[in-house]
Amino acid sequence: MQRDRLITALTGLIGSGLAESITDHFLKIRQDVATQTLERASPGKFVETFVQCLQQISRGTYDASPSIDSYLNTRVENDTALPDGLRFSAGRIARAMYTMRNKRNIAHNGEVDPNNYDLAYLHHAASWIMAELVRSAAGVPMSEAGALIELLQAPVGTLVEEIDGVRLVHADVSTRVELLILLHSHYPDYVSMDDIRSTLSRRSASSIRGRISDLKGEKLIFGDNSTGYRLTAPGHTVAVTEISRIQNA
């Protein structure tokens, strides 16, 4: 599993706990890109964990709740214990990520929506930081470190595609999982029955009704045929698990 490979590569530099945490936050950003789900928490947690990583590299300990703005704006570039690539370039990239997370409306879609571009930038920035961490940890060239990052998952943006207002799930999955992925791509908004039928047009009406009934019974989705359906919190967790399974296969 490529997640474990990346954690192993980083553990010697920042310890297993931080290695697992920053890897999982990075994977969440990649999942958001793949499913077009825009969540403020993912880049914010990634940057916070990266600050903790820098503290760990510099002094061998890190703050449980670091002052992110203060550290990135006034302290990181003066910390000569850090490698220059992390101290200058990665520190400035993380600052830009945190600014976008705070100042751009990346949590919601609008009629004119720059958010997909925002999220694409955040993903590429996070990928660069992860590659630089791997390079610092393993002493390998940036190209080799970047290759490991690319191996983490299938290319993002290929799981859900929107064409003329219809979202298509590009995965050979059951009706149940296709519903979960579709609803995750709209989360936390409701999805109308018309939109569900359009996406699952190759499925029989009875199969769609049956799986919706099953998911409602499990309390993974909420709604009705009039208002549409959305994921519950447990449903979102299950959907993320399915997406991770597909992308890590």
Cα–Cα distance, 151 to 234 (Å, whole number): 29
User: What is the per-residue pLDDT for 158?
Assistant: 65
Cα–Cα distance, 56 to 62 (Å, whole number): 5
Domain at 2-150: CATH architecture: Up-down Bundle (1.20)
User: What is the per-residue pLDDT for 219?
Assistant: 97
User: What is the per-residue pLDDT for 141?
Assistant: 73
User: What is the per-residue pLDDT for 180?
Assistant: 94
Q: Which CATH number fits domain 160-248: 3.40.50.300, 2.60.40.10, 1.10.10.10, 1.20.1050.10?
A: 1.10.10.10
User: What is the per-residue pLDDT for 155?
Assistant: 46
Q: Which residues of the chain have pLDDT under 70?
A: 1-2, 34-41, 105-115, 140, 144, 147-158, 248-249
Residue spans in the chain of domains classed CATH 1.20.120:
2-150
User: What is the per-residue pLDDT for 38?
Assistant: 57
Residue 142 in 3-state DSSP?
A: helix
Q: Which residue has the tokens 């298509």?
A: 168
Residue 38 in 3-state DSSP?
A: coil
pTM of the model: 0.62
